[in-house]
Structure 1
Amino acid sequence: MATYEPQSPAILQSPPLDITVPYDAAWVKDKVILITGGASGFGAGFVRHWAKHGATVVIGDVNVQKGDALCREINKEVAGNNKVHFVHCDVTDWQSQVNLFKAAVKLSPHGGIDCCVANAGIAGPDVMQKGSNLDAAEPPPPAFKIIDVNLTGVLYTTHLACFWLPKNPGSSPSSIDSKPSSSSPRDRHLLLLGSMASLAPIAIQPQYCAAKHAVLGLFRSLRATSSLQGIRINLLCPYFIDTPMVTTPARLALAGGGLGKPEDVVEAATRFVSDSRILGRALVIGPKMHVRQTRTGEWELDTPGAPGSIETAVFEPYVDDWEDQEAWNRNFVRLLNGVQAARGWVGWAQDVGKAILNGFGLVR
Structure 2
Amino acid sequence: MTTPQGGFDISPLTHTSGPIDLSLPYTRSTLAHKSILITGGASGLGAAFARHWAAHGAHITIADVDVSGGETLVAELHALPGSSGHHLFCRCDVTVWEDQLRLFRTAAAASPRGGIDAVVANAGIPERDSAVTGRGFENPVGLDQDGAPAPPLRVLRTNMIGVAYTCHLAMFWLPRNRDPQYRKSGAGGGGEADERERDRHLLLIGSVAGITPLPGQPEYCAAKHGVTGLFRALAGSTFRHGVRVNLLLPYFTDTPLVPWQGMMFLAGAGLARVADVVEAGTRLMADEGIVGRALGVTAPVEVVGDGEDGEVRVVGGGERRGEAIWEVFAHDHEHVEVFVWRYVRLMNALLKVRGWVGFMGDLVRFAWFRRREESRREQSRREQSRREQRKRV
Same fold (TM over 0.5): yes
The 8 Å contact of residues 28 and 185 in structure 1, kept in 2 or not, is answered as no
Question: What are the ranges of 5 or more consecutive residues in structure 1 without an aligned counterpart?
Answer: 1-5, 173-180, 305-309, 328-364
Residue number in structure 2 paired with 1:97: 100
Question: Would you say 1:57 and 2:60 are equivalent positions?
Answer: yes
Question: Would you say 1:324 and 2:328 are equivalent positions?
Answer: no
Which 10-residue stretch deviates more, 316-325 or 114-123? 316-325
Change over 3 Å in CA distance of 1:196–1:76 after alignment to 2: same
Instruction: Give the secondary structure class of the aligned counterpart of 2:271.
Output: coil
Once the two structures are superposed, what CA deviation does each residue of 1:6-25 show, in whole Å capped at 9, x if it has no partner? 99633410111111112222
Shift of 1:42: 1.1
Residue number in structure 2 paired with 1:196: 208
Counterpart selection for 1:186 from 192, 198, 207? 198
Residue number in structure 1 paired with 2:274: 262
Once the two structures are superposed, what CA deviation does each residue of 1:134-168 show, in whole Å capped at 9, x if it has no partner? 11111111110000000000000000000000001
Question: Would you say 1:42 and 2:54 are equivalent positions?
Answer: no
The 8 Å contact of residues 55 and 83 in structure 2, kept in 1 or not, is answered as no
Residue number in structure 2 paired with 1:133: 142
Measured in 2, the distance between the counterparts of 1:312 and 1:266 equals 14
Shift of 1:58: 0.2
The 8 Å contact of residues 300 and 314 in structure 2, kept in 1 or not, is answered as no
Change over 3 Å in CA distance of 1:30–1:207 after alignment to 2: same
Instruction: Give the secondary structure class of the aligned counterpart of 2:102.
Output: helix
Measured in 1, the distance between the counterparts of 2:275 and 2:295 equals 14
Which of the two has greater helix per residue? 2
Question: Would you say 1:81 and 2:84 are equivalent positions?
Answer: yes
Change over 3 Å in CA distance of 1:125–1:8 after alignment to 2: closer
What is the aligned length? 307
Residue number in structure 1 paired with 2:389: none
Instruction: Give the secondary structure class of the aligned counterpart of 2:141.
Output: coil
* Identity score, percent: 44
1:134-173 paired onto structure 2 within 5 Å: 134-170=143-179
Change over 3 Å in CA distance of 1:45–1:11 after alignment to 2: same
Which 10-residue stretch deviates more, 72-81 or 158-167? 72-81
The 8 Å contact of residues 201 and 244 in structure 2, kept in 1 or not, is answered as yes
Change over 3 Å in CA distance of 1:292–1:229 after alignment to 2: farther
The 8 Å contact of residues 86 and 112 in structure 2, kept in 1 or not, is answered as no
Instruction: Give the secondary structure class of the aligned counterpart of 1:9.
Output: helix
Residue number in structure 1 paired with 2:326: 315
Counterpart selection for 1:291 from 300, 303, 306? 303
The 8 Å contact of residues 294 and 328 in structure 2, kept in 1 or not, is answered as yes
Once the two structures are superposed, what CA deviation does each residue of 1:282-325 show, in whole Å capped at 9, x if it has no partner? 001110111257245x6542598xxxxx7211111121121112
Change over 3 Å in CA distance of 1:252–1:320 after alignment to 2: closer
The 8 Å contact of residues 64 and 91 in structure 2, kept in 1 or not, is answered as yes
Shift of 1:185: 7.1
Measured in 2, the distance between the counterparts of 1:49 and 1:204 equals 34
Change over 3 Å in CA distance of 1:137–1:101 after alignment to 2: same
Shift of 1:83: 2.5
Counterpart selection for 1:246 from 250, 258, 272? 258
Give the TM-score taking structure 1 as reference length.
0.79
Once the two structures are superposed, what CA deviation does each residue of 1:227-276 show, in whole Å capped at 9, x if it has no partner? 11111000001111111113345445544430111111100000011111
1:107-122 paired onto structure 2 within 5 Å: 107-122=110-125
Measured in 2, the distance between the counterparts of 1:284 and 1:201 equals 16
Change over 3 Å in CA distance of 1:266–1:142 after alignment to 2: same
The list of structure 1 runs, each at least 4 consecutive aligned residues, that deviate by more than 6 angstroms after superposition, is none
Q: What letter matches 2:160 in structure 1?
A: L
Measured in 1, the distance between the counterparts of 2:212 and 2:149 equals 31
Change over 3 Å in CA distance of 1:141–1:9 after alignment to 2: closer
Instruction: Give the secondary structure class of the aligned counterpart of 2:93.
Output: coil
The 8 Å contact of residues 30 and 185 in structure 1, kept in 2 or not, is answered as no
1:323-362 paired onto structure 2 within 5 Å: 323-326=334-337
Residue number in structure 1 paired with 2:249: 237
The 8 Å contact of residues 286 and 314 in structure 1, kept in 2 or not, is answered as yes
Change over 3 Å in CA distance of 1:21–1:168 after alignment to 2: same
The 8 Å contact of residues 28 and 286 in structure 2, kept in 1 or not, is answered as yes
Instruction: Give the secondary structure class of the aligned counterpart of 2:229.
Output: helix
Once the two structures are superposed, what CA deviation does each residue of 1:323-362 show, in whole Å capped at 9, x if it has no partner? 11248xxxxxxxxxxxxxxxxxxxxxxxxxxxxxxxxxxx
Instruction: Give the secondary structure class of the aligned counterpart of 1:142.
Output: coil
